[in-house]
Amino acid sequence: MTPFRAGLLAALATLLLDQATKLGLYFGTDLVMTGPWRVAPFADLVVVWNRGISYGLFQQEGGIGRWLLVALSLAASVGLSVWMTRAATRLLAVALGLIVGGALGNAIDRAAYGAVFDFVHLHAGTWSWYVFNVADAAIVAGVVGLILDSLRPATRVGA
């Protein structure tokens, strides 16, 4: 499988899994009315509508901010997809695909609902991590992949 196809598959799988989990929890359960649900001693399912970006930064209450964030997500997805077509390794292409799929999943939420549907809350004792979704996890995994790819020794062409 070519790197681009692997990246495209990662983007599609991320987008489908992200939207399936969000739609399943939002429309297929009563989590909105009865949550949070404890699923493990360290994890809950809870409904949080994030009108900002990562970690709830830059909260947008108005329509202009919402659509600017949608446009930014789409522009980033296009740029990263172009980079993915030029990726020389599967690791790089898959990392980019994870980020693209996550960005598109969150952009769909923002366009449809005005906010991103986050639902996974990890915690231990008094420590609490921010609430996130599959798209957010994929974006983080993609960034880790980019870092790992950048640490690999470069192969010189024609040397």
Q: What are phi and psi of 67, to 5 degrees?
A: -75, -30
Q: Which residues contact 17 (CB under 8 A, 6 or more apart)?
A: 134
Residue 155, helix vs strand vs coil = coil
Q: How many CB atoms lie within 10 A of CB 60?
A: 18
Q: Is 118 a catalytic residue?
A: yes
In total, the chain counts a number of residues equal to 159
- Are the C-beta atoms of 99 and 80 separated by less than 8 Å? yes
Is there a contact between 106 and 22 (Cβ–Cβ < 8 Å)?
no
Task: State which amino acid sits at residue 138.
Answer: A
Distance CA 20, CA 41 (A): 25
Q: Which of 18, 109, 118, 149 is catalytic?
A: 118
Q: Pick the catalytic residue: 18, 44, 109, 136? A: 136
Report residue 76 as tokens: 């980033």
136 is catalytic: yes
Active site residues: 118, 136
